Amino acid sequence: MKVGFIGVGNMGGPMCRNIIRNTNHEVVVFDLSPEAVKACTDLGASSGTSVADVASRCDVVITSLPVPRIVEEVTLGAGGIAENAKPGTVFIDLSTNSPATAKRVNEGMKAKGIQMLEAPVSGGTARAKDGTIVIMVGGDAKVFEQNLPLLKSFSGEVIHMGDIGYGSTAKLINNMLAFCNSAAAAEALMIGKRSGIDLKKLDAVIRNASGMSTGYANLSAKTLAGNFEATFALDLAHKDLRLALEMADELGVPGLIAPQVMSLMRMARGMGLGSSDSASMVRVYETALGEDIRA
């Protein structure tokens, strides 16, 4: 089978490379970044010349793209997947979108005889690399079953959530929770810093106690090392939380905690940290209080 992969960045790159390593599918990649493409062609993939080129000659086309605007452009726009893929092609989107975007893209694909699965992922770059990422899938159950071996070739857990829209819904709820935990971690670490406690020991306690969460673990690792190079950019985290808050609004769920985290993210972006890692939320505390949290 010929598998196209469009968007081989921080997440798409390692997931694509696991497909190359773990299957005998022929993989064709396209990305605006030549270095990102090279990291996949070095492992045996071939390079497509455009979205249209990849879409027109693959049986399955996978995308992992930054924001809904780009996903819509690459899928429904001129020269995009819907315009160029053959009827019967399967389209799988691993990006994080709103349920409304997923449904809109699905309608556009359906009109061209293309079957779509929305399949956002969770686990960050580390789990994308080691192939244990979690995939939450919305779409037709039969299409899901047919493509399960491909999804399993680069993941740990694959869960079919129901119709198109429920994959994104699960992803946005999950990420809202993770960012709330990260924001609380930033506050907790600053309290620790000011108290004079040994931060390495505090970290060891939390990692083995009830305060532990993935949001804590990610933020504390970056903060204590003072390394905010993006594995998950703040701009993308902000996009996810904005979509989660929009969904909460549409569903009539008033938020107390997530909107505060949104304000923290907005302040960090206002400080010019959008392309730094999402853990740089902690820089708001550090800058306001005039001291860094390092161990």
Comparison of 51 and 114: residue with beta carbon closer to ligand NAD: 51
Comparison of 12 and 192: residue with beta carbon closer to ligand NAD: 12
* Site track for ligand NAD across 100-129, x = CB under 6 A: ---------------------xx-xx----
By CB under 6 A, residue 232 contacts ligand NAD? yes
By CB under 6 A, residue 98 contacts ligand NAD? no
By CB under 6 A, residue 96 contacts ligand NAD? yes
- Identify the residue among 10, 89, 147, 169 touching ligand NAD (CB under 6 A): 10
Q: How many CA atoms lie within 13 A of 28 on its CB side?
A: 18
Among 61-69, 157-165, 205-213, 259-267, the segment contacting ligand NAD (CB under 6 A)? 61-69
Comparison of 138 and 192: residue with beta carbon closer to ligand NAD: 138
Amino acid at 53: D
- Identify the residue among 1, 32, 221, 288 touching ligand NAD (CB under 6 A): 32
Q: Residues 261-264: contacts with CB within 8 Å, 24+ apart?
A: 261/179, 261/180, 261/182, 261/183, 262/238, 264/183, 264/186
The residues carrying an active-site annotation are 171
Distances (CA, A) of 216 to 165, 207, 235: 28, 8, 19
By CB under 6 A, residue 174 contacts ligand NAD? no
By CB under 6 A, residue 14 contacts ligand NAD? no
Q: Under the rule (CB under 6 A), what is the footprint of ligand NAD?
A: 6-12, 30-33, 36, 51, 64-66, 70, 74, 95-96, 121-122, 124-125, 231-232, 236, 240
